[in-house]
Amino acid sequence: MKLAALADAESRVFWLDDKAAPAPTPALLGPTTADLAVVGGGYTGLWTALRAKERYPELDVVLLESDTCGSAASGRNGGFCESSLTHGYANGLARWPDEIAALERLGRENLAAIGATIARFEIDCDWQRTGELTVATAPHHLEELAEEAERRDGVRLLDQAEARAEVNSPTYLGALSDPSTALVEPARLAWGLRHACLELGVRIHEHSRVTRMHGRSVSTETGTVRAERIALATNAFPSLLKRLRLFTVPVYDLVILTEPLSTIQLNAIGWQHRQGISDASNLFHYYRLTRDDRILWGGYTPLYHFGSRIDPRFEQRQHIHELLARHFFTTFPQLEDLHFTHRWGGVIDTSTRFCAFFGTAHSGKIAYALGYTGLGVAATRFGADVMLDLLYAEDTDRTRLRMVRERPTPFPPEPIRSAAIHLTRWSMSRADTHAGKRNLWLRTLDRLGLGFDF
Ligand SMILES: Cc1cc2nc3c(=O)[nH]c(=O)nc-3n(C[C@H](O)[C@H](O)[C@H](O)COP(=O)(O)OP(=O)(O)OC[C@H]3O[C@@H](n4cnc5c(N)ncnc54)[C@H](O)[C@@H]3O)c2cc1C
């Protein structure tokens, strides 16, 4: 047990704890009008505002954010910027087999466009196309990864020796290598997009929580925006469209971060290509190196709180952070002397189909994109474009997708919701320790196309 390693870790988000954090913009004061009002200043909202100005430069765009841009999931995530729009290839293939080729293509184009935007606006967010390894840590993972390697273009299966030559963990039995994934510094990306929006003339008001939407007006405590169109980008937070509230649940994902590794420590684990890594379990870990050679380590225990409660206190869970630290040392026993400096958590918007869904209200004048689950760093840009397609009645490759037109099944109301989520999580954990065998509950959910993920 290495819990001393966590004793001095600060309860702060490493990425947000950065002197590059911009000073907040003034809150909304009084009444104003706009062509487009965007509610929410995470990636979804920022991409929507930015893409609106790129696609329709004449639009007057206002963005309202309750806290500061990037302060929620967008500023505290793992920074894995993946091409998948469907929370992984397997999920997309299972749900939309006829569209998977188009979804993969659009995902690759989306990722390339993110890289191009970062370059064009010179966003200093350590964007690197390092690729990603999905590692097998149990024999049944090998079969699953081999199956995916056979079906999917551009990925490569590594045997145990090849996987350990990339990153040296005694737990690895093999890996799937996907060279397309980029890693990014999440808060820096959000702040860069915010800066780009301001440069293009978007009016951003931070500390401006929208408390009411009436017709095409949105109001905060201190002001109102009357807009031609509204884009809702509020992710896991309660939607201003009440009918959407059963379609996602807020789930907490927790993270720990080490001190910088010395050269000796780095040499002990290899990792020269600095790929993002996740394991192939149902309850998986994800981890990566930072610019200054720390290891960010997260995942494994997605936490749901009864009644879909959101509370900053849920970002700190001693026993979960300790469990994550123990798993870290199992993966990298060579790093037994390493200490953790930061621990935090954040909330994701899980949907029963694990990827974003889209739609409109108020005769097409209000659009929403939510439900990214734990894979929204790249997919939010696609979601932003879909919202603009819908708001401005554009017929595109995106809007023709069933993936875009179909809605997920809602979660049941409480107390069934909580019981179902806990049973699902327990069953996923059991499958992980029983050679991947899915019990009757998981098989039933699979048949219905339902589930719980992060
Ligand atoms: C710990 C963690 C790790 C993750 N790791 C990854 C990863 O490695 N790769 C990946 O692809 N995804 C990851 N994700 C998911 C990813 O971060 C999200 O999918 C993505 O950031 C969603 O962006 P968003 O803009 O939709 O949501 P958010 O970033 O949550 O933004 C929503 C914003 O809306 C604001 N808001 C809400 N209600 C209102 C209101 N009424 N008025 C005004 N503003 C409002 C909020 O303050 C918030 O800033 C992770 C998430 C977490 C929490």
d(CA 454, ligand 1 centre) in Å: 13
Arithmetic mean of pLDDT, 388-401: 98
Nearest to 67 by CA among 93, 39, 106, 31: 39
pLDDT at 47: 99
With residue 324 as reference, give the H or E element that holds it.
Answer: helix 318-331
Nearest to 133 by CA among 197, 180, 84, 198: 180
Tokens of 199: 């440069």
Given the CA of residue 211, which atom of ligand 1 is nearest to it? 41
Nearest to 295 by CA among 318, 316, 281, 275: 275
Nearest to 137 by CA among 178, 167, 180: 167
Q: Mind listing the pLDDT tens digit for each residue in 18-70?
A: 999 999 999 999 999 999 999 999 999 999 999 999 999 999 999 999 999 99
Arithmetic mean of pLDDT, 312-320: 96
Residue 415, preceding peptide bond in cis (omega within 30° of 0): yes
331-to-5, 178, 209 alpha-carbon distances in Å: 15, 21, 42
Q: Mind listing the pLDDT tens digit for each residue in 268-280?
A: 999 999 999 999 9
The label of the residue with tokens 């979601």 reads: 383
Please give the single-letter amino acid code of residue 94.
A
d(CA 42, ligand 1 centre) in Å: 6
The label of the residue with tokens 């937070």 reads: 237
145-to-159, 269, 451 alpha-carbon distances in Å: 11, 23, 21
Given the CA of residue 79, which atom of ligand 1 is nearest to it? 8
d(CA 73, ligand 1 centre) in Å: 3
Given the CA of residue 369, which atom of ligand 1 is nearest to it? 26
Alpha-carbon distance of 103 to 89, in angstroms, equals 9
pLDDT at 55: 98
d(CA 105, ligand 1 centre) in Å: 24
Q: Mind listing the pLDDT tens digit for each residue in 329-358?
A: 999 999 999 999 999 999 999 999 999 999
Alpha-carbon distance of 273 to 288, in angstroms, equals 11
Nearest to 296 by CA among 328, 337, 264: 328
Ligand 1 pocket test: pick from 51, 133, 348, 368 the residue with the most ligand atoms within 8 Å of its Cβ.
Answer: 348
d(CA 250, ligand 1 centre) in Å: 11
Alpha-carbon distance of 57 to 52, in angstroms, equals 7
The rounded Cα 296 to chain-centroid distance in angstroms is 15
Alpha-carbon distance of 451 to 286, in angstroms, equals 20
d(CA 70, ligand 1 centre) in Å: 8
C-alpha torsion sign, points 399, 401, 405, 409:
negative
Tokens of 255: 């993270």
Q: Which residue owns the Cα nearest ligand 1 atom 28?
A: 42
Alpha-carbon distance of 201 to 343, in angstroms, equals 36
Please give the single-letter amino acid code of residue 148.
E
Measured CA angle at 357 (ends 355, 358), to 5 deg: 155
Nearest to 313 by CA among 254, 241, 244: 254
Per DSSP, the chain holds a count of helices (H) and strands (E) of 12, 19
Ligand 1 pocket test: pick from 47, 77, 178 the residue with the most ligand atoms within 8 Å of its Cβ.
Answer: 77
Q: Mind listing the pLDDT tens digit for each residue in 185-236?
A: 999 999 999 999 999 999 999 999 999 999 999 999 999 999 999 999 999 9
Please give the single-letter amino acid code of residue 285.
H
Split at pLDDT 50, 70, 90, the class of 449 is confident
Q: Indicate the burial class of 263 (C-beta count within 10 angstroms; 0-12, 13-18, 19 or more).
A: exposed
Pairing of strands 61-64, 212-214: unpaired
d(CA 374, ligand 1 centre) in Å: 9
Flag whether pLDDT at 452 surpasses 90. no
d(CA 140, ligand 1 centre) in Å: 32
Q: Mind listing the pLDDT tens digit for each residue in 154-184?
A: 999 999 999 999 999 999 999 999 999 999 9
Ligand 1 shell residues, CB under 6 Å: 39-45, 64-67, 71-74, 76-80, 82, 209-210, 233-237, 253, 255, 298, 346-348, 372, 374-377, 380
Alpha-carbon distance of 306 to 316, in angstroms, equals 17
Q: Which residue owns the Cα nearest ligand 1 atom 34?
A: 40
pLDDT at 60: 98
DSSP assignment letter at 75: G
